[in-house]
Amino acid sequence: MTVKRNIEKKLRQYLTLFPIVAMLGARQTGKTTLAKMVYPDWKYFDLENGNDFDFITSDFDFFLSQYSSEIIIDEAQRSPQLFRELRGAVDKTPLQKGRYILTGSSSPDLIKELSESLAGRIAIIELGTLKMNEVHQTPLSSLYSILNSLPVEKHLNAFSDLKTDLLPEQVMQTFLKGGYPEPTLNKKSEFYSIWMAQYETTYIQRDIASLFPRLNTNNYRRFIRILSELSGTIINRTEIGRTLCVTEPTIRDYLAIAEGTFVWRNLKSFEYSPSKSVTRMQRGYIRDSGLLHFLRRVNDYDALLQNPKTGAAFEGFVIEEIIQGLQAVETTPWNFSFFRTRNGAEVDLVLTSPDNIHIPVEIKFGSSTKKGQLRSLSAFIEQNNSPYGLVINQSEEIKLLKTNVLQIPARYL
Contact indicator for 393, 367 with CB cutoff of 8 Å = yes
Torsion of CA 335, 343, 252, 109, to 10 degrees: 0
pLDDT number for residue 108: 62
Q: What is the mean pLDDT of residues 275-294?
A: 84
Please give the tally of structural domains in the chain: 2
Residue 92 sits in a domain of what CATH number? 3.40.50.300
The span from the CA of 266 to the CA of 204, in Å, is: 20
pLDDT at 150 over 70: yes
Whether 47 and 150 share a structural domain: no
Which structural domain, as residue segments, surrounds residue 31? 8-126
pLDDT number for residue 277: 67
| CA nearest to 135, candidates 176, 189, 90 | 176
pLDDT, tens digit, 9 for 90 and up, residues 29-67: 999 999 999 999 999 999 999 999 999 999 999 999 999
As beta bridge partners, residue 392 has 363, 408
pLDDT number for residue 394: 94
pLDDT at 120 over 90: no
Whether 115 and 172 share a structural domain: no
| CA nearest to 46, candidates 38, 36, 37 | 36
Whether 86 and 210 share a structural domain: no
Whether 311 and 332 share a structural domain: yes
Contact indicator for 106, 27 with CB cutoff of 8 Å = yes
Whether 115 and 245 share a structural domain: no
The answer to whether residue 2 is domain-embedded is no
The answer to whether residue 1 is domain-embedded is no
CA torsion sign, 149 to 268 to 305 to 199?
A: positive
**In this predicted model, which residue has the larger pLDDT, 276 or 392?**
392
Q: What is the mean pLDDT of residues 367-391?
A: 88
